[in-house]
Structure 1
Amino acid sequence: MDTHAKTAVVTGANSGIGLALTKKLLAEGYRVIATARSGRIDGLHHDQLTVIPLDITDVASTEQAVARIGQLTPGIDLLVNNAGVAPDVMSMAPPERTSFHDTFATNVDGTVFFTEPMLALLKDGAQVVFITSSMGLPSQAGPNGTAYRLSKAAVNMYAAMLAQRVADRHINVTPVHPGWVQTRLGGDSAPFTPEQAADGIFQGIVARPESGQFWNVETNAVMAY
């Protein structure tokens, strides 16, 4: 691998937005360390790509992944927290306890407790991107997807808090709304392809808005919380 290339870590990279963004970053010259529960991405091979196993709901898996990433690189330029689930996103039904817990275990607990030990591996001046949703903004409240909306609201708040905590290291933190995307979660009727979403996310990375600001791929601009 090219040790002079910028290094990115992308979670949940085996499909959908994560896979498209991994391909986009590779095309833009990044060295990418991608994670997937299986530890592989079928059909994607690149000399600047390393795939490692990670289940962010599992403590041991998280610890092993962080240690492995630390062995692979002396410092990370970009961390993209993409892994997430949305089992109730289209449901108007009241929250169901098991699904609710599973959603928070991945979207909130897993995201937070993977990010925290990764901070020590980030270079000063690095970027942290959270693939979240405008559905988690109070101004965009709706009757559907209770667990999903609440989990993304928590991630949005965590991103805003983290931006303040890492400001002395000039680390930029950006929660990103990728739009409604044609993925397993978004469905076939969504207006954005994963590739279009990845392009928009990358534009947000390049734009590097003020740390803690919410980037909206649909408008290619900062969105008020």
Structure 2
Amino acid sequence: MNILITGAGRGLGLELAKQALERGHQAVACVRDASAPPAGLKALADAYSGQIRIESLTVESEEDARQLADRLRQDAFELDAIVNNAGVLLGRDQRIASLSMDDVRRTFDVNLFGPMMAAKHLIPLIREGKSGADMLINISSEAGSFSGAYGGDYPYALSKLALNMFSKQLNEELKQRGIRVLAVHPGWMRTDMGGQAAPLAAEDSARGILDMIEGKTQVPDDLFFVDYAGRPMPI
């Protein structure tokens, strides 16, 4: 399979790229500047030469998404799965009276508009029906749930709630073509974003997500918001 991953320079994105390569897949690892990839991604490129391509993608830029799609198309490089993983967590300690609207806008640019633009330009590259994957995964969060709403993290929670709705809408559009769209809660992981107190390793989350992409974990057709093991998440 050819699997494209945004935000592949660290954390869950890097682990997804690593495990995809270990499983024998081709990985398109997207970072802001492909000419100077983070050390972990460069090590993967050295170890899996010819199996990985590192691409530049600033997810807030539609022009970047368009150019990435053009480069892949020019190389006749088709996709089997897309993982919109890039995300930010801003304004954590801000209550409504002190909330920075710049943080809100920046968060929506990355967490919602980025996946939307990636989907717009990259979905046409999915080779429908040839691999059995035909999947787009938006990395979401339990914070994007009405039932779990709490008084804080406004930018992050609202952007993930909107991302869940986009995932549901996009799945309704694309299921006629056999393309599955899921919003996935990756769990609270020990990453730069999640912190070292988190109970879950990024390796475990990545393993579960790739199992869904490969079809080892089957997600019922009526679900669109699940966790990394394919279990239903509350809306």
Report the TM-score when normalising by structure 1: 0.91
Q: Identify the residue that residue 174 of structure 2 maps to in structure 1.
A: 166
1:141-172 Cα shifts (integer Å, max 9, x gaps) = 11121000000011100000001101111101
Match of 2:104 among 77, 100, 104: 100
Are 1:163 and 1:211, in contact at CA under 8 Å, matched by a contact in 2?
no
Identity among equivalent positions (%) equals: 29
Report deviation, 1:212.
5.1
Q: Identify the residue that residue 42 of structure 2 maps to in structure 1.
A: 42
The within-5 A match list for 1:82-161 is 82-88=85-91, 90-94=92-96, 95-125=99-129, 126-161=134-169
Report deviation, 1:29.
1.4
Aligned residues: 218
Residues 199 and 121 of structure 1, relative CA distance in 2, 3 Å threshold: same
Q: Give the ranges of 4+ consecutive aligned residues of structure 1 lying more than 4 Å apart after TM superposition.
A: none
1:90-112 Cα shifts (integer Å, max 9, x gaps) = 42522311111110111111110
Report deviation, 1:59.
2.8
Are 1:7 and 1:33, in contact at CA under 8 Å, matched by a contact in 2?
yes
The root-mean-square deviation of aligned C-alpha atoms, in Å, is 1.6
Aligned: 1:216 with 2:227: yes
Residues 16 and 215 of structure 1, relative CA distance in 2, 3 Å threshold: same
What SS is found at the alignment partner of 1:160? Answer: helix
- Which blocks of at least 5 consecutive residues in structure 1 are unaligned? 1-5
Are 1:8 and 1:76, in contact at CA under 8 Å, matched by a contact in 2?
yes
Tell me how far apart the structure 2 counterparts of residues 38 and 215 of structure 1 sit (CA, whole Å).
31
What SS is found at the alignment partner of 1:42? Answer: helix
As a proportion of its length, which structure holds more strand?
Answer: 1
Deviates more, 1:154-163 or 1:208-217: 208-217
1:82-134 Cα shifts (integer Å, max 9, x gaps) = 0111113x425223111111101111111101111112111224111111111
